[in-house]
Structure formats: C-alpha cells, structure tokens
Structure 1
Amino acid sequence: MDTVMMARSLFGSSMAFHIIFATLGVGIPLLIVLAELLFQFSKDPDFAIMAKRWTRGFAILLGVAIPSGTIVGVMLALLWPGFMEYVGQVIALPFQVEIWAFFLEALFMSIYVYAADRLHPWMRIVSVIFVAIGASASAVLITNVHAWMNTPRGFNLVNGQITDVDPWAAVMNPSFFITSLHVLSSAYMTGAFAVASVGAFKLLSKRKSDQERSYHGKSLFLSLLVGGIMSLITAIGGHETAQMLHHHQPEKLAAAEGLFETRTYAPLAIGGNVDEETQSVRGGIEIPWALSFLATNHFDGVVRGLNEFPRDEWPPLYIHTLFNAMVGIGSLLIVLSFGPLAYRLLLKRKYPRWLLWVLVTSGPLSMIGIETGWIFSCTGRQPWTIYHVQRTAEAATKAEGLGMLFVLFLSIYAMLLVITSVVMWVYFKRHPVVPELLREGA
C-alpha cells in the first residue's frame, strides 16, 4: 500500500471512530433539552429522570469524543501537511471559532451536571440548551471546512501561490448551509434512534414493572417522534444535496448513479453494481426520469455523465453502493419511526415483540447510515482533497512507516469501543432506573 493510501486509511479509520461519538454528542443533547422542557410543562417526573440518565450517558461518550477528536486534529497536521497550508491561509476561521463552541458546551455541561438541582428550573433548561447549542455549533464549524473542500471559495491561486484571501467568502461557500443542515439533522436522527434502540430493548423484558414499562414507553415514543421528524428533514436535505452536486460536483453525482452518458430524462439506478466495461449498472432497478428530477426538479433536466470528464478525475465507482446504502437506510428509518408511532396512536395497543426487535436495530442502522454517508461524501471527492484545486497525492505526507501506526491506532480504537461499551453497561447496571422512579414517585 503506498503512502497516500496508507494516510487515507489511517485518517479515515480515525474519523470513522470519532464520528460515532461526535454524532451522538450532537444528537443526545437535543433529547435532553426536550425531556427537560416536557418535565417543566407536564411535571411528569419520568421526563426529569430521562434527562438525568441521558446526561450521564452523554458524559461518558463525551469522555471519548474529546480525545478522539484531538487525535483527528493532530493527524490532519501530520498526515496532510499540503492541505494544512491551505487551511492556515484560507479556512482557519472555523477551527478557531470551534474552540469557543466547545468551551461553551463544556462550561454549561458542568453547570448542568453539578448544579442543576440547585438552579431555578428555567436556568436548568437554559444550561442544557447552551450545551446543545455548543455541540451543534462545533459540528457546523467542522462541517464548514468539509463543505469548503467540496466547493472551495475565498482565494485565488496564481502560479501556485495563494492570493486574494477572503476568509468570510471561504466560510460562506456554496455548499455550507445545505451540508450543515444535512449533518445536523442526521446527527439528531441518529441520537434519537440510539435512544429508541435502548427503550425498545428494555420493553422486551417481561419482568419489568408497569411503572418501569411506562417510563421506557415514554422514552421510546419521544425518541421515535424526534427520529421520524429528523429523518424526514435529512431526506429533504439529501435532495438538496443532490442538486448541489449537480451544479458543483457533477462527476460525483454521475458516479453515485453509474451514469456514463450525459442525457435528459436520466433514470435513477437503485441497487446493482457499476460496470465500467459495459458502462452500465448491473443488477440495478431503474426508475425512469427520476435522476433528472432529483437533480434539476424537471423530468427532462440534463444530467452530465462520467464520460464528459477525464478518466483520472472520476471518483471510485463503488460509491454507487455507498450512496444506495445511505439512501436505503434513511428511507427505512422513516418507516421505522412513523410506522410504530401510527400503530401506537391509532390502534392504542402495545408494541408487539417482533416490532420491538425491529426497533432495536434502528440505532445501529442509523449509525451505519452516518458512516456510509461520510465515506461517500469524502471518497466521492477523490482524487481531490480540495476539489479541482489540490489532489490528494499533493496533500499527503511523504513520510514512510505509517503501517505500524495504522495497526496501533486500529487496536486502540477497538479497545476504546470495548471499554466504552463495558463502562456504559456496568454503570447503568449498577444504577438501574427503578430506584429513581420509586424515589420520584414518593
């Protein structure tokens, strides 16, 4: 494996690990805010207990998200020195402001955890709202750099030299707002489905008391409602993202759909594999005219094919599979949220066991959707680190010996995943919800 591919593998595995905790770190605070608001308005102590217990889980996850995020930052400097030259001169602003966003989150997290019981109820809500704002702002600011890599603005390149730098033009690049919306809504969706998985799993036990089943039922209902709304917003954001790709990264959209020839009434290919030799999607199902409508809002819209671009600028064709996985999981999650909600509200019945088992899978499915989405977005930009400005080979380090680091960090990440899972399980096993329910009830 050459140095560039090793650098991509090492950085990609680090991002794949960090994104688990970063996504939950953005999604769970929104649920905590909603639980606090529901408690203040309904005075139902179950929602206060939810907020406290979700905060404890969030604190454990944050303990891993912070160091893993630090590792990613260090790897940016060590593995991609060519890219960091552009960052330092053009798009450093979001990184600098992100420090303040994290400070805001950490400060109010401390206030909420250690002083919430001594604060006025509305101050509790204000504290946790600022935690959520800080977490979301961090995600948006880091996403801003990713969006700039896809649609770079705010500078000119003259004879290899960066000139006429405009930091605000770089920040307000064309894909910033739609990319940020898509990232935030998918993070809120994933946090909600992670909680839904736990609630559904708890309801599967036949030894729960009515009080405990009521608590987990409320948790499941709230998380499914948030997950359903956010999955719809994510789908709408995905549609807008497709139109952004049509205008700014047409070869990425063409590779995602296995479209080789420019055409009107372009079909949307679902499933199958892209065959470069026959320039077709083998085994896929085509929906006539759908890609043209997705990209242009018109069935007869012109969608550019891969053959319009030099072969060495094509993204890897396997991103078609990543794109299908991302869209398929997102569509399934919409059904997995609104279907059970309709069943509960219209039929007034308890969830059947088979449905609870299906809902247990919603959290892992949403995380797989997040991972495939990020891999699609970054891999689909290849062979560019900064789109049509800097190739990945130009950005990567020339240092050798990255293989040992790759194995070492993979081992560390695997160990941390196991340790985090064990810590979460042991903590909540030793601190079950029943005593808190009895204490609040009394």
Structure 2
Amino acid sequence: MDNVWLARMLFGSSLAFHIIFATLGVGLTFMILIAEIMRAIKKDQDYGILAKRWTKAVAILLGVAIPSGTIVGVMLSLLWPGFIEIVGQVIALPFTLEIFAFFLEALFLSIYVYAADRLSSTMRIISVFFVALGAVASAVLITNAQAWMNTPTGFDVSGGEIVNVRPWEAVMNPAFGYTAVHVASSAYMATAFVVASVAAYKLLKANLSNRNTEYYRKGLMIALIFGAVTSLWTAVNGHSAAVGLYDNVPVKLAAAEGLFETQDNAPLAIFGTPDPEANRVVGGIEIPGMLSWLATGSTEGVVKGLNDYPRDEWPPLFVHTLFNIMVGIGTLLIAVSFGAIAYRIFFKKGYPQWLLVLLVGSGPLAMLGIETGWIFACVGRQPWTIIGFQRTADAATQSGNLGFFFTLFVSLYIFLLVLTALVMRTYFKRNPLSKEFEMKSSV
C-alpha cells in the first residue's frame, strides 16, 4: 500500500475517532441548556438532575475529546506537510479563532460546574449558553477549513507562489455557510438520538422491573423533540448542501448520485452500484427528474455527469453508497422521532417495548450517519486535497513506517473507546440516580 493511502487511513481513523467525542460535546452542551431552561420554567428538579448528569458525561467525554483533537492537529501537520504550507498562508484564521471559542467553552464550563449551586437559574442558563456557544463555534471554525478545501478562495497564484492573500475572503468561502449549518445541525441531531437511545434503554429496564419511569420519560421526550427538530433541520440544510455541490463541486454531486452522462431530467438514484462500463447505477431505484429538481428547482435543469471530467479526477464511486447510507439514516431518524412523539401525544401512555427497542437503535444509527457523512465529505473531494489546486498525493508526507503507526493508533483508539465506556459506566454506577432523588427530596 502506498504512502498516500496509509497517510489517508491514519488521518481518517484519527478523525473518525475524534468526531465521536466532538459531536457529543457539541450536542450535549446544548441539551444541558434545554434542561436548565425547562428547570427554570417548570420548577421541576428532575430537569436539574438531567442537566447535572449530562454535565458529568460531558466532562468525561472532554477528557478524550481534547487529547484526540490534539492528535488530529499534530497528524495534520506531520502527514500533510504540503497542505499545511498552504493553510499557514491562506486559511490559518479560523484555526486561530477556534482557540478563543475553546477558551469561551472551557471558562464558562468551569463556572457552571464549580459555581452552579451558588448561581441563580438565570445565571446558570447564561453560563451554559456560553458553553454551548463556544462548543458549536469551535466545531464550525474547524469545519471552515474543510469547506475552503472544497471551494478555495482568498488568494491568487503567481509564478507558482501564493500571493495577494485575503484571509476573510478565504473564511467566507462559498461552501462555508451550508457546511457550517450542516455540521452544527447534524451534531445536535446525532446527540439527541444518542440520549434518546440511553433513555429508551433505561425505560426498557425500568419497565421490566416496574420502577418509577417519570425521570427517564422526561429525558426521552427532550431528546425526541430536539431530535425531531434537528433531524428535519439537517434534512433541509442537506438539500442546501446538495445545491451547493451542484454550484461549486458538480463532480462530487455526480459521484454521489452515480450520474455519468450530463443531462436534463436527471434521475435520483437510490441504492445500487455505479458501473462506469454500463454508464449507470446498476441495481438501484431511479426517480426520473428528481436530481435535476433537487439541484436546480426544475426537472429541466441540466446536471453535469462524471464523463465530463477526466477519469483521474473522479471521486471513488463508493461515495454513492456512503451518500445513500447518510441520507437513509437521516430519513429514518426523522420518521422515528416524529412517530414516537405522535405515539406519546395521541395514546397518552408509556412507550411500548417495540418502540423503545427501535429508539435504542437510533443512537448507534445516528453516529453511523455522522461517520459516513464525514467520510463522504472527505473522500468525495478526492483526488484533491484542495480542489483544483493541490492533489492529495502532492500534500502527503514521504516518511515511511506509516503502516506501523496506523496499527498502533487504531489499537489505541479501540482501547480508549472501551476505556471511556467503562469509565462512564463506573461513574454512573457509583453515583446512581437514587442518590440524586435523595438529595432532591432533602432540599
């Protein structure tokens, strides 16, 4: 296996590991904010307990997110020196601003955690608001570099040298708006379903043992409402992102849909396998005109196909499968969340076991959607690191022994995943919910 593939695998596995903790860190802080607001409105300490226990989970997750994020940053420098040389000249600004976003998050998280009992409800809400703001700002600013890699702006090239750098133009590149919103909404959505998954699991156990389930129902309802809103928001913004691909990176859209020939009334291909020999998606379901309508607002709109580009500039065709998985999971989660809320409203009773089992599976599915979405975003840009400007092969390190380090770091990530799960389980087992209820009743 060549050096470029090994560098991509090592960096990709590191990013895939980090994105789990980064996503949950962004989403949980906002859910803590919701719980604090509900506590202030309803004067119900159950929501305060939710906020407190979710905060403990955030603290554990940050213990892995911070070092794993540092590893990603170091690997970016070591594995992609050609890319970093350009980043330092053109798109360093969002990385600098991200430091201040992280400081904002850390500062107010410290205030919220250590001074919570001495703060009024209003000040608690304000504190956790800035925690949530810092978390999402950090994610958006880091994502800005990825958006710029798809639509590089803010610089000129003269004699092979970068000149006339315009940092703010680079930051406000054409892909930034829809990419930033999609990252934020998908992080909120995935976290909501992870929380729903845990709450549903607890309700299943509580139902089997006939324990009081009101606390878990409140947590589940917050997660379901938040998940329904954010999954719908993600779908709407996902459409905007697809339109952005049509405008800015049409070859990536063509690969995502397995479209080989430029045409109007272009079909939307669901499932199947793109076959360049047959010039179509084999074994898929095609909806005539739907891709043209989604991309241009009209079935008469012309969508460029892969055959309009040199073969060596095609993204890997398996991105079609990644795209289908991502969209399919998002669609399923919309149906699950709205269906569960409707069941609760219309039947006005507890959730049946079959629905709880379905909700338990929603969390892992949501995280799978996050992973496939990020892989699609990065792999769909290939063979470019910076589209139209720098190829991935030109950005990669020439150092050896990457196979050894890939094995080493993947083993480390598996170990850390297991360790994090054990720490989380041990902490909450030693600090059971019954203790929180005892403290609540004594207040």
TM-score by length of 1: 0.99
The aligned runs of 1:297-336 (5 Å cut-off) are 297-336=297-336
> Does residue 8 of structure 2 align to residue 5 of structure 1?
no
Question: One-letter code of the match for 1:183?
Answer: V
* Counterpart Cα distance in 1 of 2:187 and 2:406: 27
The corresponding residue for 1:436 is 436
1:68-107 superposed matches below 5 A: 68-107=68-107
Residues 323 and 376 of structure 1 are in contact (CA less than 8 Å); yes or no, is this contact kept in structure 2?
Answer: yes
Q: Does 1:141 align with 2:141?
A: yes
**AA in 2 matched with 1:288:** P
DSSP-derived class of the 1:300 partner:
coil
How far did residue 439 of structure 1 move?
2.5
The residue that corresponds to 2:172 in the other structure is 172
Number of aligned residue pairs? 441
Partner SS, residue 260 of structure 2: coil
Give the equivalent residue in structure 1 for 2:240.
Answer: 240
The answer to which of 4-13 and 345-354 deviates more is 345-354
- AA aligned opposite 2:295: A
Q: Is the 8 A contact 1:45 1:441 kept in 2?
A: no
Q: Would you say the 8 A contact 1:196–1:219 is kept in 2?
A: yes
The residue identity in structure 1 corresponding to 2:401 is: G
Distance 1:171 1:114 in 2: 36
Paired letter, 1:118: R
- What is the CA-CA distance between 1:441 and the residue it aligns to? 3.1
Partner of 1:376: 376
Structure 1 residue 119 corresponds to structure 2 residue 119: yes
CA distance in 2, matches of 1:431, 1:202: 15
- Residue 75 of structure 1, CA deviation: 0.4
Asked if 2 retains the 8 angstrom alpha-carbon contact of 1:267 and 1:291, the reply is yes
1:162 alignment counterpart? 162
Q: Deviation per CA, 1:269-325, whole angstroms, max 9, x where unpaired?
A: 000111111111111001111100111111111000001011110000000000000
Q: Does 1:408 align with 2:416?
A: no
- The 2-side partners of 1:32 and 1:208 are apart by 28
User: What amino acid is the match of 1:415?
Assistant: F
Shift of 1:207: 5.2
**Equivalents in 1 of 2:345, 2:438: separation in Å?**
28
Alignment of 1:176-325 (within 5 A): 176-205=176-205, 206=207, 212-325=212-325
Aligned AA (1:10) = L
Q: Show the counterpart of 2:398.
A: 398
Cα deviation, residue 183, structure 1: 0.4
Q: Specify the code of the residue in structure 1 equivalent to 2:350.
A: K
The whole-number CA distance in structure 2 between the counterparts of 1:55 and 1:207 is 28
Residue ranges of structure 1 left out of the alignment (5+ in a row): none
Instruction: Encode CA deviations 1:380-425: one digit per residue, 9 max, x unaligned.
Output: 0000000100000010001111111111101110000000000011
SS at match of 1:299: coil
Report runs of 4+ in structure 1 exceeding 6 Å deviation.
none
Aligned to 1:345: 345
Q: What code does the residue aligned with 2:60 have?
A: I
State the Cα distance separating 1:349 from its structure 2 match. 2.2
SS in 1 for 2:157: strand
Determine helix, strand or coil for the equivalent of 2:298: coil
Inter-partner Cα distance in structure 1 for 2:223 and 2:110: 25
Alpha-carbon separation, structure 2, partners of 1:353 and 1:208: 13
Deviation for aligned residue 1:435: 2.2
SS at match of 2:213: helix
Look up the equivalent residue of 1:325 and give its one-letter code. I
Once the two structures are TM-superposed, the CA of residue 159 in structure 1 deviates from its matched residue by: 2.2
Q: Could you say which residue in structure 1 is the equivalent of 2:152?
A: 152
Q: Distance in 2 between matches of 1:332 and 1:437?
A: 35
Structure 2 residue aligned with 1:423: 423
- Matching residue's letter, 2:128: V
Which amino acid is 2:259 matched to?
A: L
Secondary structure in structure 2 of the residue aligned to 1:157: strand
Report SS of the residue matched to 1:315.
coil
**Aligned AA for 1:148?**
W
**Shift in Å, 1:125:** 1.0
Q: 1:24 aligns to what?
A: 24
Residue 122 of structure 1, CA deviation:
1.2
What amino acid maps onto 1:187 in structure 2? A
| Counterpart in the other structure of 1:363 | 363
